[in-house]
Structure 1
Amino acid sequence: MAIRFPDRPVRPGVLRRLVGQAPDPKGFRVEIIRGRIVLSPTPSFKHSGIVQRVAGRIRGGLEQGRGALQRHSIASPHDPDDYCTPDLVVVPAAIEDEDGWLLDADTVDLAVEVLSPGNAPSDVLAKLEEYAAWHIPVYLFIDPRDGTAVVYSEPSDGKYRTVH
């Protein structure tokens, strides 16, 4: 099934609906970042292993009532189309009982991204800026190419004030 996009500008909120109606591209996950459809390949085993190890460590230190979930999308509070799908999020555990797939940004305590080589510009720049603008309190970015991890926190005026 092919979806034909209109020749005129798409009204806010319609792009997400059109993407949702399109057939899932095999082997890819879909995000809409800054009005652009971004396809990410299925993660490598190494990528998934890193996410699993981080999730295990995070889960051990969470407050009661919080959960660490993998591959759930966060809706932009500023654009009715945009959403990002981090590798891991920390959210209220009660979300695990809901049927939805799209988190409100204000429910997310932490977003974790492990760099995918084919998605470096999205993971490094766009998501960093978006998560800060969405007031995600903490963003953990891991680059397996060089073994680095950077923690961004204290979002204010669309930027993270603290970097470790």
Structure 2
Amino acid sequence: MTAVMPEREVHIEGVISSMRDLAARLSEIQGLRVEIIGGNILVSPTPSFKHGKIVLQLIRQLDPQLPADRMPQPSYSVESVEDDEDYCSPDLMIVPEELGDEEGWLAPADIVDMAVEVVSKGNVPADTTLKPRAYARWGIPIYLMIDPRNGDIVLYSDPVDGRYRGRHDYTFGDTVTLPAPLAGISIESKEFPRYGG
């Protein structure tokens, strides 16, 4: 099988038994991040330094404000409640601390308090359209989307019937105040870097 990605052709040998199997093989290729949303495999490059800096700033701000039984986690994925093969890998999730003692890498959606995506230049539709829909359908209480292209922040909350009913728009420099289940926690965005060009 051959998978074609921007500026790159990848050959995969052997039998592919499922979408998850194909995703696992693709994720072994250095520099690629792989997710399955709506039965489609999404492949994106490793995030940029500015992207990573925002995630690190979020971890540093959130960790001391979270209850003792919650943690910010940048390396787990969240499992779809709709399809056994679908999963997303947010840039950051807030999950129970005890999850770190479990085997595996997929967090059930019903234990995720918040998913955060920093919009990547090469993955805009996934972060701005596909993921808000998926996270709402999966019942994740808060979706925070940070867009360094233009300095926008969108806070989605209150998922009902597969849609977020709450939406608050911010710009870099604003203080973002989170709703339940993370009520009382705030994020300062004035130091978030923007993408150049």
TM over 0.5: yes
Decide which of 68, 71, 78 is 1:74's aligned counterpart: 78
Calculate percent identity across the aligned residue pairs. Answer: 46
Equivalent in the alignment of 2:188: none
Aligned length: 157
**Correspondence 1:2-151 to 2 at 5 A:** 2-5=13-16, 14-21=18-25, 24-151=28-155
* In 1, Cα distance between equivalents of 2:81 and 2:124: 24
* In 2, Cα distance between equivalents of 1:63 and 1:103: 19
Q: Could you say which structure has the larger radius of gyration? A: 2
* In 1, Cα distance between equivalents of 2:66 and 2:132: 23
Aligned-residue offset at 1:18? 3.8
* In 2, Cα distance between equivalents of 1:115 and 1:158: 22
Consecutive unaligned residues in structure 2, runs of 5 or more: 1-11, 169-197
Instruction: After superposition, give the CA deviation of every residue in 1:8-48 in whole Å (9 maximum; x if it has no partner).
Output: xxxxxx32134335561210111011111111110111000
Instruction: After superposition, give the CA deviation of every residue in 1:125-161 in whole Å (9 maximum; x if it has no partner).
Output: 0000000000000000000011111110000011100
Letter in 2 for 1:32: I
CA-based RMSD of the aligned residues comes to 1.5
In the superposition, the TM-score normalised over structure 1's length comes to 0.90
SS state at 1:111 partner: strand
Consecutive unaligned residues in structure 1, runs of 5 or more: 7-13
Residues 19, 151 of structure 1: CA spacing in aligned structure 2 closer, same or farther, 3 A cutoff?
same
- Asked if structure 1 preserves the Cα contact closer than 8 Å seen for 2:26 and 2:34, the reply is no
Aligned-residue offset at 1:56? 1.2
Equivalent in the alignment of 2:191: none
Letter in 1 for 2:158: E
